[in-house]
Chains A and B, each alone.
Chain A
Amino acid sequence: MEQILNRIKDKIEIKISTKKRDDLYFFTVEKEQIEFILSYLKEQENFTHLAFMQAVDYLEDGKFQLTYMLYNYKIHINLGVNVLIDRKKAEMFSMHKLWPHIWQYQREIHELFGINFPGSPRVNESFVLEGWEEIPPMRRDFDTLEYSEKTFYQRPGRSTNDPKEYMKEKMYKNYADTPTIRREK
């Protein structure tokens, strides 16, 4: 895998590269280079399988992170290619020419995060939300509790407990203090 990473580094600039496990690597590239790097990994380095595509909302940085999770059947390695895109102008190239089944992920991300994929087939069809009128619900500035209280009828009488206090009350009444996990130094 180090050889592959070195070969990629010769071609383009990789921002962050991390090794999570022996068979799980991540690296971050620029948005403009994503089309080149994905086709290179698929055609030259045998990362033929796109396992999934996923988006994360980094509200504080004003960025969306898209992850393309690839798999190599020859050396059995998972590789996640991250790309950060601007949150205000959320738009990404469609990769349906490399992997035809990616349109389904792009349709899901388009609906739940509001990221546009121009040219992706059937991207405007509703995926799980039918007739949604608010901002996309997976964006972190969408307040689900407020929306739920506004839309659905609450049944009165719902209560919550602080877990620590509740366990002390119910289980450890005779102890001076609730037991905590002791870690050896």
Chain B
Amino acid sequence: MKKKDINEIEKQMKLANEGLPEKERALFSDARPSSVAPLNKYLEGFLNWARSRSMWMLAFGTGCGATELRPLMTSRFDMSRFGIAPRPTPRQAAIFVVGGYASIKTIKRIVRSYEEMQGPKYVIALGSCTINGGMYYDSYYTINRLDYYIPVDIYIAGCMPRPEALIAGFNRLKEKIRAGECEGMNKYTDNFDWYKKNQKQIIKDWNMPDYNW
């Protein structure tokens, strides 16, 4: 292939960042996310073992389900026993816990925080609202299915799930990470256009970059 053609294809592949004003577009990256292939079998197994033992959770409470995270953190249920620790910013976290219903205003922040997290990253969706809408299935401003907007690794059903159920969910996630089944980040990058289409369908005032580094 000629060099000129490659340049043209690269130009097409770049993100438009249409939500930003013209003068700010140069400040943000327009490169698309790329998927990361797993390393060789033994090294990846060791890395997965390490990842499953240090689950750092983004302490970002979206919706009423976040109330169940407080007893989980404190002495009665004490999630530090399982190697789970809350982190204050998306850059430091590996697990995103979406607690319950997500309105469109929140899903904008959820998408932004999820993209800012560094890989490998995992998503736990708790509560019925993230599965099929729950009691808010006919609401005008809450989404019904979270997996159309970001990839979800574990669902925890209930309204609300008790901290015991959350611990069970975290343990299930730990097993999945160990077995190398949590490829949510690669799923997101492979189906990037589909996710963006769904997100832009509901977020009408898109005023952020198309992909937030």
State the A residues within 8 Å of B (CB). 126, 128-134, 137, 142, 144-145, 147-148, 151-155, 157-158
* Residues from chain B with Cβ under 8 Å of A145 in the complex: 138
6 contacts between A and B (CB under 8 A): A129-B104, A144-B139, A145-B138, A151-B201, A153-B148, A157-B132
* Residues from chain A with Cβ under 8 Å of B132 in the complex: 154-155, 157-158
> 1/0 contact trace for B106-145 toward A, CB 8 Å?
0010000000000000000000000111000111111111
Please tell me if B8 contacts chain A, counting CB pairs below 8 Å. Answer: no
How long is the Cα–Cα vector from A41 to B138 in the complex, in angstroms?
Answer: 41
* Residues from chain B with Cβ under 8 Å of A132 in the complex: 204
How long is the Cα–Cα vector from A69 to B144 in the complex, in angstroms?
Answer: 36
How long is the Cα–Cα vector from A4 to B28 in the complex, in angstroms?
Answer: 63
How long is the Cα–Cα vector from A153 to B149 in the complex, in angstroms?
Answer: 11
CB distance from B62 to the nearest CB of A (A): 14
How long is the Cα–Cα vector from A147 to B103 in the complex, in angstroms?
Answer: 14
Given contacts A132-B204, A152-B143, A157-B132, 20 further A-B contacts (CB under 8 A): A128-B103, A129-B105, A129-B141, A131-B203, A131-B205, A137-B141, A144-B139, A144-B140, A148-B139, A148-B140, A152-B133, A152-B142, A153-B145, A153-B198, A154-B132, A154-B133, A154-B145, A155-B131, A158-B132, A158-B133
Contact with A152, one of B145, B203, B205 (Cβ below 8 angstroms):
B145
* Residues from chain B with Cβ under 8 Å of A152 in the complex: 133, 142-145, 202
How long is the Cα–Cα vector from A126 to B108 in the complex, in angstroms?
Answer: 15
Report yes or no: B140 in contact with A137, Cβ–Cβ below 8 A: yes
How long is the Cα–Cα vector from A147 to B205 in the complex, in angstroms?
Answer: 18
* Residues from chain A with Cβ under 8 Å of B137 in the complex: 148, 154, 158
In the complex formed, the residue of A with least CB distance to B206 is A131
Report yes or no: A154 in contact with B104, Cβ–Cβ below 8 A: no
Report yes or no: A148 in contact with B203, Cβ–Cβ below 8 A: no
* Residues from chain B with Cβ under 8 Å of A158 in the complex: 132-133, 137
Contact with B204, one of A131, A155, A157 (Cβ below 8 angstroms):
A131
* Residues from chain A with Cβ under 8 Å of B108 in the complex: 130
How long is the Cα–Cα vector from A151 to B140 in the complex, in angstroms?
Answer: 9
In the complex formed, the residue of B with least CB distance to A144 is B140
Report yes or no: B131 in contact with A130, Cβ–Cβ below 8 A: no
* Residues from chain B with Cβ under 8 Å of A155 in the complex: 131-133, 144-145
Report yes or no: A147 in contact with B140, Cβ–Cβ below 8 A: yes
How long is the Cα–Cα vector from A142 to B138 in the complex, in angstroms?
Answer: 12
In the complex formed, the residue of B with least CB distance to A137 is B140
* Residues from chain A with Cβ under 8 Å of B201 in the complex: 151
Report yes or no: B205 in contact with A130, Cβ–Cβ below 8 A: yes
How long is the Cα–Cα vector from A26 to B210 in the complex, in angstroms?
Answer: 52
CB distance from A81 to the nearest CB of B (A): 30
* Residues from chain A with Cβ under 8 Å of B103 in the complex: 128
CB distance from A155 to the nearest CB of B (A): 4
CB distance from B205 to the nearest CB of A (A): 3
CB distance from B143 to the nearest CB of A (A): 5
